A and B are shown apart, each in its own frame.
Chain A
């Protein structure tokens, strides 16, 4: 598709705009993705403004001092998916990125037992041997295969999806303009990569797209405890049980995370994930981008079948030939875009499809301020295990039951909990000797079958979390100084994600790749020329990655220049 922009007035035209309400590009939403997009565009010389509806930047990455001296990373808590390209091209280390690794995972088990996976693989082997000698050995093979899968995803995600479709001969993209893109060297490279993949690797990939994680893991492991532990990443943020087909893909999504080239590493950002957004905001501002909070966008303006700017909720108009939205599709496509503005019939059904987008939440967050370190029955004394992840998922049945309760409209009485102790990783998160505990909890549906979250159920959910923790860390209930309980409607209200799904929409095959978020709006473009999507509901999917925003921004710059894809180049400056 050729974009004939008003953009001809082009890259870094330096149109006198500040205050005048005219920009080269407008970004809707100051979540980390919106900020990444703004940083890339500003870095290329565009005059960019980011408009955020809430008083704070950060979206789902915000952190706050919820109680004096205690910092909570309100929603998201660990970083792994953040693309190295984004880190290095935006020079984020200089702007404040500071990731402390969480090297181990502890799975406490009933009766004081546990499964502990450490940074050192040989020690992990010895821990798992207690549960199954065969599994301890199989873990090496499994991890190797998953690293290969992570690498495959890495290769896949480097290019925009339409180009990929062209390259691997996928005909899902019916719209011809998606196919007349020049196949860049990078894409040709990926095509070659796929063609050369051994059959076994393609089979694993197909399995990961379709299987349940329990079945997928069952191909390697016999120990229920280990399968439950490894399946944790397959349900995070998804209304799925490890036994639901499709959950293996969520596992794969998490395996494409890396820290400094090591797949599957996680890091804690000093100060909480809010500091990631602040870091990116600093990078964006250093290139001249402007960020306005308390500025909800009501709709996208169009003129002559092209994007012309936005209208704020207060009626103010801001002009730009390019608008990118990082909001979920119900907002970006359902509310901000008027299908009447879309040329031809490309807008047909868009709003209806956006309304059917699956983004019901399934997870809550319980943040605790505690008076001392928790004493886990399995390892009561302080030690390295407290600076890693700690997961309550003692068996597949346990997790499946927790899911069942939510399936029928309740919350899990004995939930799945994925926790970290941020104050162990970063002493600045709590006063000396005191701590904060971040609990990501499943399952909690958006809507309850009986009763209302606001009607005491929120606190009842919080109680079930504390009760469950106390089964593994007795006495914790007496250590709690403050508690913050957040359920999907809170995520919706605070982070602006309709339904409260942490990824802006379930990661299932029906909502992935060229279908994310809509066949008519894949590849970051929408049917309205000049209007783009750049958030978690696009190709890359959710998580603190910056991946979609980077590709979207490069796509914009590419379209503005009318040249071929810039999506691949690691090192090159757009």
Chain B
């Protein structure tokens, strides 16, 4: 136990010892009990505990006034499995089960809130290396803040088929389906992935809460919807080296046999033994990649195994800025950025159908089951969607032209994807839509954007004007409607993806 401490550090040592008494197993202590256990005068203990409380490291039970363990606070208990609400004030930011690992690496200290969790925007001061790791080696991204719902029971498939626009009678066990779900009038609520873990057990991942919607839609069915968001950590491993790393970090999964949107269960660690993990061949970067779904208590073991396996493959942890650049290149739409969920749309005009958000391919009007929004979407099929999600591209010479007006080379590179919506015009004319994601892709060397435009302006090759900030001014740049995704390497879906290892 504690060595004799030099003067002045003794208080620190005592405070830390007190802090360590708070664990999930022994969350609550009274002052007298702590003072006795630590051999402190009650007034000293009171003073030290007061500091810990003021620093947000421990809490205080409102009823009993006892001191309480604060989930997720550094120095106490385990970092994992933090509930979304700790019932105490002030509300602590939530930590993902990987937080101890990510925070140790986050040199930039650039954290961003994502559904209440603190997530790294970048690990290094600038996102470049993390972005290139996605395209050239591999990147590890903590995407745990996704909401996750387990849907289980005899009617699980029936519920999904009722809620979702995709046909879940066609989703075999061991497959993942990307789908949309809509309101009764066919307006898009969310998009997300659904894993079929067992015949009667699915896992839905979504950007926003949807427990109530699923429960309400399943009224009277033999199905149980459970929010497992906090129980499961999720890591995305993305990039051309993903397979080689995933193989080395896990046991029991045949990655060569895993097709795009397959799912497999295995164990963490080269020889196993690190705990169970579910792997899906999915991701949000448009590259070869996998997502790892793990119980919070095994999260750190998973992280460590992947980092270790990635050491020789150029693996870097990547933050949300790099992820956003990659997903823009992949032409993937983002809720709240590229479209507004019908659940959040204050006015009618903000609502879109899946087709209008570029997700028409997720709507299966030929499926057997009736589903929420079906009739509205059938009508839309007949009259055609009013809006379309398009990819826009501004070529280099247009950028040179704009910047030459102020005698500069184009100042476009090195900026993360911009999410401020700006108007899109018919050439020299009126507004026909808005551009919601845009950035200069250092890989493609083009300025690309995702835009929602009126249906008649959506044909490939259509010329449109977008707004670009040039110096202090706003200029119109000529853009062209191009194919989405902007970047789509064969390795993303290759049947036996590159092992990616030389020699």
Nearest CB in chain B: distance from A4 CB, A:
33
**Does B502 contact A270, Cβ atoms closer than 8 Å?**
no
Q: Is A405 an interface residue (CB 8 A)?
A: no
Residues on B with beta carbons closer than 8 Å to the beta carbon of A387:
129
Q: A424 near B314 (CB under 8 angstroms)?
A: yes
Contact A68/B503 with A84-B396, A101-B442, A384-B124 known, Cβ cut-off 8 Å: yes
Q: Are B410 and A260 in contact (CB-based, < 8 A)?
A: yes
Give the nearest-CB partner of A372 in chain B: B312
Residue in contact with A119 in the complex, picked from B128, B132, B443, B444, CB distance below 8 Å: B128
Say yes or no for A475: interface residue by CB 8 A criterion. Answer: no
Q: Give Cα distance in the complex from A97 to B443, angstroms.
A: 9
Q: Which of B129, B396, B399, B502 contacts A103 (CB 8 A)?
A: B129
Contact (Cβ within 8 A) A260 B440: yes
- 9-residue interface stretch from B70-78, B164-172, B400-408: B400-408
CA A506 to CA B43, docked complex, whole Å: 81
Cβ of B351 under 8 Å from chain A = no
B314 lies within 8 A of A151 (CB): no
> Is the CB–CB distance between B503 and A261 below 8 Å?
no
Q: Which residues of A contact B399 (CB under 8 A)?
A: 261
Chain B facing A: main interface SS: loop
Q: B409, A262: Cβ atoms under 8 Å? A: yes
Which of the listed residues A84, A118, A424 has the most CB atoms from chain B within 10 Å of its own CB? Answer: A84
Q: Give the residues in chain B near A571, CB-CB below 8 Å.
A: 395, 397-398, 400-401
Query: Given A100-B136, A123-B125, A384-B124, is A432 in contact with B312 using a C-beta cutoff of 8 Å?
Result: yes
* Cβ–Cβ contact A432 & B397, under 8 A: no
* B501 / chain A contacts, CB cutoff of 8 Å: 431-432
Indicate if B13 sits at the interface (CB-CB under 8 A). Answer: no
Separation of A424 and B313 alpha carbons in the complex (Å): 9
Please name all residues of chain B whose beta carbon is closer than 8 Å to the beta carbon of A98 when the two chains form the complex.
Answer: 136, 443
Residues of B within 8 A of A87 (CB): 396, 445
Interface centre among A151, A258, A571 (most CB of B within 10 A): A571
Evaluate contact between B444 and A93: CB separation under 8 angstroms.
yes
Could you say which residues of chain B place their CB within 8 Å of the CB of A69?
502-503
The answer to whether A88 touches B395, judged by C-beta atoms less than 8 angstroms apart, is yes
B409–A103 CB distance below 8 A = no
A186 to chain B, nearest CB (A): 11
Does B244 have its Cβ within 8 Å of any Cβ on chain A? yes
Q: Judging by beta carbons under 8 Å apart, are A427 and B397 in contact?
A: no
Chain A 542-574 near chain B by CB (<8 Å), digits 1 or 0: 000000000000000000000000000011000
In the bound assembly, the distance between CA atoms of A69 and B312 in angstroms comes to: 14
Residues of B within 8 A of A21 (CB): none
Bound Cα distance A384, B317 (Å): 12
Q: Check A343 for interface membership: any CB of B closer than 8 A.
A: no
With a CB–CB cut-off of 8 A, which chain A residues contact B124?
384
Report if A120-B409 is in contact (Cβ < 8 Å); known contacts: A432-B244, A432-B502.
no
Residue B411 lies at the interface, judged by CB distance under 8 Å to chain A: yes
Does the CB pair B400–A262 fall under 8 Å? no
Residues in chain B near residue A430, CB distance under 8 A:
502
The answer to whether the Cβ of A137 comes within 8 Å of any Cβ in the partner chain is no
* In contact, B410 and A426 (Cβ under 8 angstroms): no
A485 at the interface (CB under 8 A from B): no
* A interface footprint on B226-248 (CB within 8 Å = 1, 0 otherwise): 00000000000000010010000
Q: In whole angstroms, what is the CA distance A261 to B503 when docked?
A: 37
Q: Is B413's beta carbon under 8 Å from chain A? A: yes
Whether A432 contacts B313 by the Cβ 8 Å rule is: yes
Residue A263 interfacial (CB < 8 Å): yes
A residues in contact with B403, CB < 8 Å: 261
The number of chain A residues touching the other chain, given as a range, is: 35 or more
Check A570–B313 contact: CB distance below 8 A.
no
Per-position binary interface string of chain A over residues 146-186, scored 1 when its CB falls under 8 Å from any chain B CB and 0 otherwise: 00000100100000000000000000000000000000000
How far apart sit A99 and B445, CA to CA, in the bound complex (Å)? Answer: 10
- In the complex, chain A residues whose CB is within 8 Å of the CB of B125: 118-120, 123
Q: For B313, list chain A residues within 8 Å (CB).
A: 427, 432
- Report A-chain residues with C-beta under 8 Å of the C-beta of B411: 261
B488 contacts A by Cβ under 8 Å: no
- A222-261 to B contact mask, C-beta < 8 Å, 1/0: 0000000000000000000000000000000000001111
Q: A123-B125, A261-B410, A384-B129 are in contact. Are A427 and B241 (CB under 8 A)?
A: yes
Please report the C-alpha to C-alpha distance between residue A263 and residue B446 in the assembled complex, in whole angstroms: 17
Residues of A within 8 A of B396 (CB): 84, 87-88
CB–CB A88/B442 < 8 A: no
Q: Let me know if A427 and B136 touch, CB within 8 A.
A: yes
Contact of A428 with B by CB under 8 A? yes
- Tell me whether B409 and A154 are in contact (CB under 8 A): yes
Chain B residues with CB below 8 A from A218, complex form:
none
Q: Does A433 contact B (CB under 8 A)?
A: yes
**Which listed residue (A93, A119, A151, A258) contacts B126, Cβ 8 A?**
A119
Interchain CA distance A351-B241 in the complex, whole Å? 54
Q: Which of B132, B311, B414 interacts with A262 by CB under 8 Å?
A: B414
A-B CB contact pairs (8 Å), 29 listed:
A69-B502, A84-B400, A88-B395, A88-B397, A88-B445, A93-B446, A98-B136, A101-B128, A103-B128, A118-B125, A151-B408, A261-B411, A262-B414, A270-B136, A384-B124, A387-B129, A425-B136, A426-B136, A427-B136, A427-B241, A427-B313, A430-B502, A432-B312, A432-B501, A433-B312, A570-B397, A570-B400, A571-B397, A571-B401
* Chain A residues at the B interface, C-beta cutoff of 8 Å: 68-69, 84, 87-88, 93, 97-101, 103, 118-120, 123, 151, 154, 258-263, 270, 384, 387, 424-428, 430-433, 570-571
Q: A427-B314, A430-B502, A571-B401 are in contact. List 10 more A-B contacts (CB 8 A).
A: A84-B400, A87-B396, A98-B443, A100-B132, A119-B126, A119-B128, A262-B414, A425-B136, A427-B137, A571-B398
